[in-house]
């Protein structure tokens, strides 16, 4: 197997330092559809994506150092594009491509880059950027209990990754546990209340919990509810990214009440819904992993549920209505106001599940350069969220034993008839490029061929 370099997290160092040794691992692609400051561990990966390093300010791109490596060969780029275009045409699809030099912004290859094409999950690049720019990603979701007059109130401000029993501080999914909360709550109740009622306060996250277009577009099994709390986002198995319980708050409340009973507190009657009253005393609380680490989980695994959850929180910050399309529209305007090219971009959600979304290759490249070369230091962390070719996330089982293994960090996209990829690539000569490849309208039976063609194209770009 080829031993390529992982692009390191600090872009100044990335553009100046020698490559890190890399071993590609065949990790299962678990979702439909630069990184850490240390070399990647030379060991088998855990079944769930590891938590990210904290996304804090990072050094800006050293533009002078970035220009030292030669630009890719134009003839080789054009030949690679011709091969990709031929495959897409045979699949009856539409193709948009933009490749630009990261340091200078100069276009290296452009093909229908301004055409509006369905982006699928590359939509999440917009979401992650807007969240990093507008929200404090060092925050954590809190799930707490309160008591007043013999009633225990369970309230969360948005943690959809709760564990049913004990929390696991080594995993973003299941970081906080309802069982732990029940044990702490029971301890606080002892000597005061032997028997309680349990109510759930579900007033934190407002608006529709599920997008009505998911059913008609047959994507309803790939996202959980946008709501106050859930166990593993409503998944029966946290490692399987589909098949969601559509009443996750009731499930979480039931698990909590059972755990409270097992801890020695009698729970009377049925669990109901009621806002925490004024004057209630806090009993206990548990906290999620940081939003930064949940964002990395989102990017690495292409998590639709978290995308919509964070976008709903973003909508509140931007003063937009609490709904899928208005939140996406507010995000689009916010990014346009920040200087991102949003021409011909129309987003109806923040996850990319909506097949009516449209964006352009030019817009995605503009977004990535905005993130990686701008003055907002928070945005440099976007690269921590991107899967690495042949290494992890939704690129873990792609581009293995090719020139692009370890050299490409990118967001994948996949819907019926749609395949996309957008991110950053380092050529063999050491030049960093930002790119977007968008393909839609493919015949259903041809999407795997098209996906393989994208991967081959990226290997050719790295070698150009």
- Residue 184 shares a structural domain with residue 273: yes
Q: Residue 379's domain is classified under what CATH number?
A: 3.40.710.10
pTM: 0.87
- Domain boundary pick from 241, 266, 294: 294
Domain tally, the chain: 2
Note down the domain range covering 49.
11-119+358-463
302 belongs to a structural domain? no
State residue 16's pLDDT score.
Answer: 32
420 belongs to a structural domain? yes
- Residue 102 shares a structural domain with residue 145: no
135 belongs to a structural domain? no
- Residue 263 shares a structural domain with residue 151: yes
Q: Is residue 361 within 8 Å of 433, Cβ to Cβ?
A: no
- Residue 84 shares a structural domain with residue 153: no
- Domain boundary pick from 253, 273, 294: 294
- Residue 67 shares a structural domain with residue 152: no
The tens-digit pLDDT sequence of the chain (464 residues) is 333 344 443 343 333 332 322 222 222 333 333 333 233 333 333 333 333 333 223 344 555 666 789 999 999 999 999 999 999 999 999 999 999 999 999 999 999 999 999 999 999 999 999 999 999 999 999 999 999 999 999 999 999 999 999 999 999 999 999 999 999 999 999 999 999 999 999 999 999 999 999 989 989 899 999 999 999 999 989 988 888 999 999 999 999 999 999 999 999 999 999 999 999 999 999 999 999 999 999 999 999 999 999 999 999 999 999 999 999 999 999 999 999 999 999 999 999 999 999 999 999 999 999 999 988 989 988 998 999 999 999 999 999 999 999 999 999 999 999 999 999 999 999 999 999 999 999 998 999 999 999 999 999 999 99
308 belongs to a structural domain? no
- Residue 175 shares a structural domain with residue 254: yes
- Residue 98 shares a structural domain with residue 191: no
Q: Residue 278's domain is classified under what CATH number?
A: 3.50.80.20
- Residue 148 shares a structural domain with residue 114: no
328 belongs to a structural domain? no
352 belongs to a structural domain? no
Question: Which residue from 100, 89, 90 is spatially nearest to 66, judged by alpha carbons?
Answer: 100
- Residue 149 shares a structural domain with residue 290: yes
394 belongs to a structural domain? yes
Question: For residues 387 and 306, what is the distance between their CA atoms, to the nearest angstrom?
Answer: 16
331 belongs to a structural domain? no
Q: Please, which residues have CB within 8 angstroms of residue 445's CB and are 6 or more apart in sequence?
A: none
State residue 46's pLDDT score.
Answer: 31
Q: Is residue 119 within 8 Å of 359, Cβ to Cβ?
A: yes
- Residue 100 shares a structural domain with residue 244: no
- Residue 148 shares a structural domain with residue 264: yes
- Domain boundary pick from 275, 294, 313: 294
- Residue 98 shares a structural domain with residue 144: no
């Amino acid at each position: 197997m080829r031993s390529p370099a992982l692009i390191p997290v600090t872009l100044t160092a990335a553009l100046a330092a020698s490559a890190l040794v890399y071993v590609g691992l065949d990790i299962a692609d678990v979702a439909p559809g630069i990184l850490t400051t240390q070399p990647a561990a030379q060991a088998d990966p855990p079944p769930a994506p590891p938590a990210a390093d904290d996304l804090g300010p990072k050094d800006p791109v050293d533009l002078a150092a970035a220009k030292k490596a030669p630009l890719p060969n134009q003839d080789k780029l054009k030949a690679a594009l011709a091969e990709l275009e031929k495959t897409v045409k045979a699949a009856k699809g539409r193709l948009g491509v933009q490749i630009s030099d990261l340091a200078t912004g100069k276009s290296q290859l452009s093909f229908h880059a301004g055409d509006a094409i369905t982006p699928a999950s590359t939509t999440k690049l917009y979401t992650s950027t807007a969240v990093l720019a507008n929200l404090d990603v060092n925050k954590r979701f809190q799930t707490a209990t309160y008591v007043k007059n013999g009633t225990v109130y369970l309230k969360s401000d948005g943690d959809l990754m709760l564990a049913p029993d004990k929390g696991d501080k080594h995993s973003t999914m299941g970081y906080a546990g309802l069982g732990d909360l029940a044990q702490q709550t029971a301890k606080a109740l002892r000597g005061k209340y032997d028997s309680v009622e349990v109510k759930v306060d579900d007033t934190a996250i407002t608006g529709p919990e599920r997008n009505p277009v998911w059913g008609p577009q047959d994507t309803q099994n790939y996202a959980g509810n946008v709501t106050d709390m859930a166990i593993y986002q409503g998944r029966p198995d946290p490692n399987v990214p589909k098949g969601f319980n559509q009443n996750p708050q009731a499930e979480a409340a039931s698990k909590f009440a059972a755990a409270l009973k097992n801890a020695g507190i009698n729970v009377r009657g049925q669990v109901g819904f009621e806002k925490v009253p004024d004057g209630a005393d806090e009993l206990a609380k548990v906290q999620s992993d940081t939003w930064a680490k949940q964002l990395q989980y989102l990017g690495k695994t292409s998590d639709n549920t978290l995308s919509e959850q964070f976008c709903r929180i973003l909508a509140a910050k931007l003063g937009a209505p609490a709904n899928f399309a208005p939140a996406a529209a507010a995000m689009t305007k916010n990014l346009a106001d920040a200087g991102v090219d949003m021409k011909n971009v129309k987003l109806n959600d923040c996850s990319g599940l909506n097949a009516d979304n449209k964006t352009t290759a030019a817009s995605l490249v503009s977004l990535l350069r905005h993130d990686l070369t701008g003055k907002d230091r928070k945005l440099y962390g976007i690269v921590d969220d991107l899967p690495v070719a042949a290494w992890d996330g939704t690129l873990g089982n792609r581009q293995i034993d090719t020139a692009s293994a370890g050299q490409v960090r990118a967001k994948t996209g996949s819907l019926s008839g749609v395949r996309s990829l957008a991110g950053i690539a380092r050529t063999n000569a050491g030049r960093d490029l930002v790119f977007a490849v968008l393909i839609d309208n493919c015949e259903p039976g041809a999407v795997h061929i098209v996906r393989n063609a994208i991967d081959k194209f990226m290997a050719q770009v790295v070698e150009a």
